[in-house]
Amino acid sequence: MKNQISNQTVVSVGLFQGTKDKPAQPNKNGLIPLYLTPVSGKFPEGRQVMDGSVAERAGIEPGKMYLINVDEVDSNEYGRQFQITKLSVIGGIEFALAAKNLGAAQLFSLETADEKEARKKAEELAKQIAETAE
């Protein structure tokens, strides 16, 4: 795969609450999903929720800050895929150093330019249809 992404990011980890209409549920192992909030470096947009079992295997716990590696792996029927590897737990001093080296937190889009253009055209068409139906 061309243009695979591999970079380091600092994340703060908390429990994923879900939404008011659809609160988060434990998985079959009784583990709640976690929410990774990027605080420094680049992170894929829409990939902040991590299954509780995946987090447990990776050694990632809520209430801590981590330096992680985000590696793009082969895509599947669900789209682009990323593997997250815990590099270390981050404290205050380490965070200051990492933030200086990695820069501000940034979510990057998973859409290609062609996909983004197609999505915008579809949204515009849907908007036009909705307006004519009124």
The answer to the question of residue 74 being in a domain is: yes
The answer to the question of residue 28 being in a domain is: yes
Gap between the Cα atoms of 32 and 24, Å rounded: 7
The answer to the question of residue 22 being in a domain is: yes
The answer to the question of residue 1 being in a domain is: no
Domain of 61? 6-133
Q: Is the pTM of this model over 0.75?
A: no
Gap between the Cα atoms of 108 and 125, Å rounded: 26
Q: Which two tokens stand for residue 82?
A: 């990323």
The answer to the question of residue 124 being in a domain is: yes
pLDDT in 10s for each residue of the chain, 134 residues:
456 778 889 999 999 998 889 899 999 999 999 999 999 888 888 889 999 999 999 999 999 999 999 998 888 888 888 899 999 998 877 777 777 777 777 777 766 667 677 767 777 777 777 777 76
The answer to the question of residue 110 being in a domain is: yes
At 2 the pLDDT is 52
Distance of alpha carbon 8 from the chain centroid: 13
The answer to the question of residue 91 being in a domain is: yes
Gap between the Cα atoms of 82 and 84, Å rounded: 6
At 1 the pLDDT is 46
Give how many domains the chain has, as a whole number.
1
